[in-house]
Amino acid sequence: MNPALSRLWPYPFERLRELLAGAAPPANLAHISLSIGEPRHTPPAFVLEALTNNLHTLNSYPASHGLPQFRASVANWLNRRFALPTGARVDPDTMVLPANGTREALFAVVQALTDRSREPIVVMPNPFYQIYEGAALLAGAEPYFIPQQGNVALPDLDSVPATVWNRCQLLFLCSPGNPTGAVAHVDYLRHALELAEKYDFVVASDECYSEIFFDETQPPTGLLQAAVAAGHTRFERCLVFHSLSKRSSVPGLRSGFVAGDPALIKPFLLYRTYHGCAMPVHVQLASIPAWNDDQHVIENRSLYREKFSKVLPLLKSVMDVEMPQASFYLWPKVDDDQRFTRELFERQHVTTLPGSYIAREGGGGNPGRGRVRISLVASVDECVEAAERIRTYLSRTMIR
């Protein structure tokens, strides 16, 4: 048995299942799940059509490198979305690889790029997406957590000692962040790149929430833009991870990509050939029209905007909760995150996720403790109904 397996934490949703085991929620209230970050908007019809129209391609093995037309649609999207200038455009053949969702590629990249012989460290935010930690442990690296407090603060890169940076082989950033929604600005990303150059590591930027934002004139900055601003027109040391899961509400399609430095993409492709994670051809062919179209993404965002505008005023009068900068998460403060989650489920049949389950103990304690993650992924009506029930639960607890 690989001994590193015993170091893996149970996944947050397993812990949630245990926490809620034996609870008997009121049978007259329909269950509303706000715990998993799984978009439940209707997927675009043209994506589903392209998927079913291409089922005949199941008779061929897909290539790990993907179809040229898939990579072209991704490169065009990146160039358009991040306004990459001529001379610093993404080359579809050397800078893009398909991924079966960002999760798969975020995990695999650590396995591919870690040199186990040099006591590797993988640096990541805390709270964080648990795949980063599991990927580090299984690659024989030590995870190092940078605490992140509240809704806006970014992990303080300058708090990391040089002894850690010296052993760091990969830094995970997540912007917009899960669960905080905090967005990294260009100077922050440039600083990460300066450190990467100084200490010789890779920056892996998880940008799977980059298309869920609220001001159409201010989309979140991406790492590739920061690289160009720093003069790195070949995206040296940069890898970005994007997905259709949130952008196009198709989490079950398992369609994403990794893009960036061709000197990293090339060995990663070699790794992926052996790993066996080629994206099925019909999934690639369904993904092309999704990356080519921005209109459905604008409509998707307007639904999230509507949910926040209705839910937030309801919650603000009973709890300490802020509008996130981006993403579909609320990250409010509560007295005790596990008790809140269990009681809300027991009394109101609404599921949220205890913040402490998606963070680790650090110097200042567990930065997720005393917060819950609320994913506004259900329909507008369900989210409003859930907010009403949270109000009822909290007003009754206050009276007690």
Ligand X SMILES: Cc1ncc(COP(=O)(O)O)c(C=O)c1O
What is the binding site for ligand X (CB under 6 A)? Answer: 37, 101-103, 129, 174, 178, 206, 208, 243, 245, 251, 256
Minimum Å gap between C-beta 69 and ligand X is: 21
Of the pair 169, 243, the CB lying nearest ligand X is at 243
268: Cβ–Cβ under 8 A, 6 or more apart, which residues?
97, 108, 109, 112, 113, 239, 258
Minimum Å gap between C-beta 101 and ligand X is: 3
Of the pair 112, 394, the CB lying nearest ligand X is at 112
Of the pair 232, 242, the CB lying nearest ligand X is at 242
Distance CA 203, CA 150 (A): 23
Minimum Å gap between C-beta 334 and ligand X is: 21
Run of H or E including 342: helix 337-348
Residue recorded with tokens 């179809």: 67
Minimum Å gap between C-beta 368 and ligand X is: 14
223: Cβ–Cβ under 8 A, 6 or more apart, which residues?
173, 189, 192, 193, 203, 205, 207, 238, 240, 260
Residue type, 109: V
Of the pair 82, 132, the CB lying nearest ligand X is at 132
Minimum Å gap between C-beta 311 and ligand X is: 20
Token pair of 81 as six digits = 């979305």
What DSSP character marks residue 175? S
Minimum Å gap between C-beta 347 and ligand X is: 27
Of the pair 148, 243, the CB lying nearest ligand X is at 243
Distance CA 170, CA 131 (A): 14
Of the pair 210, 348, the CB lying nearest ligand X is at 210
Question: In this chain, which residue has its C-beta nearest to ligand X?
Answer: 101
